[in-house]
Structure 1
Amino acid sequence: MMRTLAEINEKIGQQKAVVLTASEIKARVAEVGVTQVAKEVDVITTGTFEPMESSGAIINLGHTDPPIKIRRCWLDGVPAYSGFGAVDLYIGASCTVETKDGEEARVRKTTPKFKRGGGHVIEDLIAGKPIQLRAEGQVTDCYPRASFETTISRETINQFYLFNPRNLYQNFIVGVNGGERQLFTYLGPLQPRLGNAVFSNPGAISPLLNDPKLQLVGIGTRIFLGGGVGYVTWEGTQHFPLQKRLPNDTPIGPAATLALIGDAKSMDARWVRGCYFKNYGPSLMLGVGVPYPVLNEEVVARCAIQDKELVAPIVDFSIPRRVRPTFGLVSYAQLKSGRITIEGKNVRTAPLASMYLSLQVAIELKQWIEEGKFTLTEPVASISMERSFLPQDRWTEF
């Protein structure tokens, strides 16, 4: 059985395409097998809703009168990068509010604003809320203005789009703490003496675990991004497809990543939410969905993968090194059961990703396709599967 993308898109345009989520596919394959499902289904949708701190937004403000060449800028107190076009900005999801000299300790104690970061500003702009802007300029003959303050919103700026250098980790780690004190990490609090275990990838419903060799995802792939339409632009930072893999081709730890882009003005704040990790900092919870065209039976076979067939490494954060010791591998079925065993100890588990909202991303994307609102794209180039991962092992002491 073979289909073409053009044939699938024609059915989508006629609202005749048969679309199942990854969860539905797995259940259907268990009932009737891969061959029958491949005959029945045209598109499979996947989704995740999890923290993706390597995200941010490009904003163009438009020129003031007289013009300003912005070189320092703050959005609701969060610094935005301004070292390129005169009124172009980039705000990172994990950037924190800056306070005036001497105010940091007071702010920590008296207001939750210290927990606010770029992710919250991006969420508020998407939701249509006003944001205070303060800018300092480099005075030149063509840009004579030295400073500027105003209130901006989604409707008063030009371009406003997410450009995310690293999203959609193809698998990740399980964090634990074998030490004697509580640790505050990008996975959240880790209790001492193996008091808990936290995992971030949603497992078998996660987009890239259903396409382990990235045979269907590439540059130009149209996706669900933050409740709007987005695209894959390149490999993501820390892209490491050469990670060790199981016989089913799925990686045993962090592997491929993707860089994504999408018009934030068309996004929905339900799927783009600023968040904060205690004693670690702000981040961004982001909904991303990837559709897979059922071109052949192999696509269905890959998407039939189950949590019991996927593993992640258990990493001890109590050792403050780049390469930390591990307690071996654990399946996502075990992680989702709520308990795992580490060196004979029964340890509670919890997901950082929202399993419910990850499923809802796949369901919403499914509805878009069924209604003919979202067609699939052929990648214009593939994502490298040969990229190695280079550490920084050289340093200079001052």
Structure 2
Amino acid sequence: MERSIESINERIGKGEAVVLTAQEVCELTDRGEDIEKVDVVTAATRAIMSGTYAILSFPVDAPCSFLRAKEVYMNGVPAHTGPCPNERLGILDLMLFGTDHSLDDHHYGAGHLFRDLVAGNPVDVKVVTDGDVTFTTQVTLGDMPYAMMYGTRHAFKNYSAFVNTSDDTISSIFHAMDFGPRLSEATISGCGQINPVKNDPMLQSIGIGTRILMNGSEGFILGSGTRSAKEKPNLTAFADMHDMDPEYMGGFFTSAGPECIVSWAVPVAVTDPSVVDAIKERDRQIKMSVMAVDKRACVGYSTYGDVWEDVDLEVTFAPDECINCALCEPQENCPMAAISFEEDKVKLDRYACFNCGLCTTLCVGDVFTGKMGSIKFELGDYSADVPIVLRQSDKKRALELSEKLKERILDGSFRLTQMVEQIQP
């Protein structure tokens, strides 16, 4: 195979390159068609990604109005001041962790804050100075000359399914409700065959300096992420928040508090035979560990075929089927607050909906429906078959992102970059 990033970029410029999404390649493979002429595969994922933080810098007051900020809150979410103490200039440099929670609203976290900023919504800022003077102001993303999002542990090659093997319910970041006991339900994370690192597991194409889209904004990969391992690699990257799309990011409420949603789209240049072999793998061939949240230990293995084959990627919504329950469980427990009522008529905000599917398992009528699949694995002498009740990855929008990246590569608005250095998987 004699391809390079330079030669592929030349072919793109001439309109000769073959660029396909990971899903399209898998469909070609199923039909037995040749994929040897594919130059670039666009892969994507959208999921809960705890290892997320943002660095923001913006003015809040006139120069010399205060020496240093002791505490800062944005919509109630605590921010960490520094690393450059520019407050005598009236400018704050802040770091916000994606898992930080608002002190005012336990359903609101930094993921919600990041989406609000990118959507152009004004954000309340509370500053407590080192002189114990408190003042408030409002800012928007447009007021911030610098706003970068970083991922320290993103885009796992494959993640896990989660179950509870104990006799008690458990609060967990892996469920929007208390986790049901005794293998009564499962949750999952990972987009399977379209995940970026799944399509380049040896990291021959993806490396330090690879240009990507994070939440729709161009950014770059910095290296491997925290807790990355050869069997389960992940990546770290950054991108400018000013160019992000709020639809692909946000907050997701769990029974252990709010988490952060992030989306990636990555071009995988087919420059090595290992990439060709990897992109052919279907969901049913991709091993997925089954983790017990009560033990935080692996109790078995399944495949992503259980998660993404013969299921509905989008929730079906039929508002006329509503039977007007005294308490609407889907509304009460929706991790995206996407369900509401207007004049006693149920509404679903598709823009906010994550397609997690929890509503389909809670609705006693037929308002919210969809096939969610189940996790099948061996647990000792027992063959488990546990229904999936919640998905913490949104494959529908990940597919959309891979298609958008493909279009941008073909129209020349996104250009592939040569890695600076290879990442050791």
Q: Root-mean-square deviation (CA), in Å?
A: 1.9
Structure 1 CA distance for aligned equivalents of residues 148 and 15 of structure 2: 29
Whether the 8 Å CA contact 1:203–1:310 is kept in 2: the answer is: yes
1:38 pairs with 2:36: yes
* Deviation, structure 1 residue 74: 0.3
Whether the 8 Å CA contact 2:204–2:275 is kept in 1: the answer is: no
Amino acid corresponding to residue 295 of structure 1 in structure 2: T
**TM-score, scaled relative to structure 2:** 0.77
Structure 1 CA distance for aligned equivalents of residues 120 and 264 of structure 2: 21
Structure 2 CA distance for aligned equivalents of residues 66 and 373 of structure 1: 40
Amino acid corresponding to residue 115 of structure 1 in structure 2: H
Residue aligning to 1:118: 110
* Deviation, structure 1 residue 316: 1.6
* Deviation, structure 1 residue 239: 1.5
* Deviation, structure 1 residue 15: 4.2
1:207 pairs with 2:192: no
Residue aligning to 2:330: none
1:93 pairs with 2:98: yes
* Deviation, structure 1 residue 193: 1.2
1:198 pairs with 2:184: no
Structure 1, 180-189 or 356-365: larger mean CA deviation: 180-189
Match of 2:308 among 303, 317, 336: 336
Residue aligning to 1:380: 420
Residues 243-392 of structure 1 aligned to structure 2 (within 5 Å)? 251=231, 255-278=232-255, 280-319=256-295, 324=297, 326-336=298-308, 338-342=373-377, 343-349=382-388, 350-385=390-425
* Deviation, structure 1 residue 26: 1.4
Match of 1:184 among 166, 171, 176: 171
1:161 pairs with 2:137: no
Residue aligning to 1:388: none
Residue aligning to 1:136: 128
- What's the CA shift string for 1:317-350, capped at 9, x where partnerless? 223xx5x2x3321111133351234523431125
Residue aligning to 1:245: none
Greater than 6 Å deviation, 4+ residue runs: none
Structure 1 CA distance for aligned equivalents of residues 13 and 220 of structure 2: 20
Structure 2 CA distance for aligned equivalents of residues 15 and 138 of structure 1: 59
Structure 2 CA distance for aligned equivalents of residues 187 and 333 of structure 1: 20
* Deviation, structure 1 residue 146: 4.9
Name stretches of at least 5 consecutive residues in structure 2 with no aligned partner. Answer: 86-91, 310-372
Whether the 8 Å CA contact 1:177–1:317 is kept in 2: the answer is: yes
Gap change, CA 1:269 and 1:375, over 3 Å in 2: same
Gap change, CA 1:203 and 1:215, over 3 Å in 2: same
Structure 1 CA distance for aligned equivalents of residues 282 and 146 of structure 2: 41
- SS of 1:219's partner is coil
Amino acid corresponding to residue 151 of structure 1 in structure 2: Q
Whether the 8 Å CA contact 2:106–2:257 is kept in 1: the answer is: no
Structure 2 CA distance for aligned equivalents of residues 193 and 146 of structure 1: 52
- SS of 1:23's partner is helix
* Deviation, structure 1 residue 180: 1.8
Amino acid corresponding to residue 383 of structure 1 in structure 2: I
- SS of 1:201's partner is coil
Gap change, CA 1:72 and 1:15, over 3 Å in 2: farther
- SS of 1:37's partner is coil
Whether the 8 Å CA contact 1:38–1:296 is kept in 2: the answer is: no
Gap change, CA 1:239 and 1:344, over 3 Å in 2: closer
Structure 2 CA distance for aligned equivalents of residues 316 and 302 of structure 1: 28
Amino acid corresponding to residue 377 of structure 1 in structure 2: T
Structure 1 CA distance for aligned equivalents of residues 15 and 74 of structure 2: 43
Structure 2 CA distance for aligned equivalents of residues 49 and 149 of structure 1: 34
Amino acid corresponding to residue 299 of structure 1 in structure 2: V
* Deviation, structure 1 residue 147: 4.5
- Bigger relative CO (Cα 8 Å, ≥ 6 apart): 1
Structure 1, 345-354 or 122-131: larger mean CA deviation: 345-354
Amino acid corresponding to residue 384 of structure 1 in structure 2: Q
1:150 pairs with 2:137: yes
Structure 2 CA distance for aligned equivalents of residues 295 and 31 of structure 1: 23
**TM-score, scaled relative to structure 1:** 0.82
* Deviation, structure 1 residue 374: 0.5
Name stretches of at least 5 consecutive residues in structure 1 with no aligned partner. Answer: 100-112, 140-144, 242-250, 386-398
- What's the CA shift string for 1:245-268, capped at 9, x where partnerless? xxxxxx3xxx21211100000111
Q: Percent identity?
A: 28
Whether the 8 Å CA contact 2:205–2:270 is kept in 1: the answer is: no
Gap change, CA 1:116 and 1:232, over 3 Å in 2: same
Whether the 8 Å CA contact 2:118–2:141 is kept in 1: the answer is: yes
1:220 pairs with 2:209: yes
Whether the 8 Å CA contact 1:71–1:83 is kept in 2: the answer is: no
Structure 2 CA distance for aligned equivalents of residues 76 and 340 of structure 1: 39
Structure 2 CA distance for aligned equivalents of residues 21 and 341 of structure 1: 28
Match of 1:64 among 58, 61, 69: 61
Whether the 8 Å CA contact 2:204–2:272 is kept in 1: the answer is: no
Amino acid corresponding to residue 89 of structure 1 in structure 2: L
- What's the CA shift string for 1:176-202, capped at 9, x where partnerless? 011222222121143211111111011
Residue aligning to 2:45: 48
Amino acid corresponding to residue 158 of structure 2 in structure 1: N
- SS of 1:185's partner is coil
Whether the 8 Å CA contact 2:196–2:268 is kept in 1: the answer is: no
Structure 1, 125-134 or 159-168: larger mean CA deviation: 159-168
* Deviation, structure 1 residue 276: 1.1
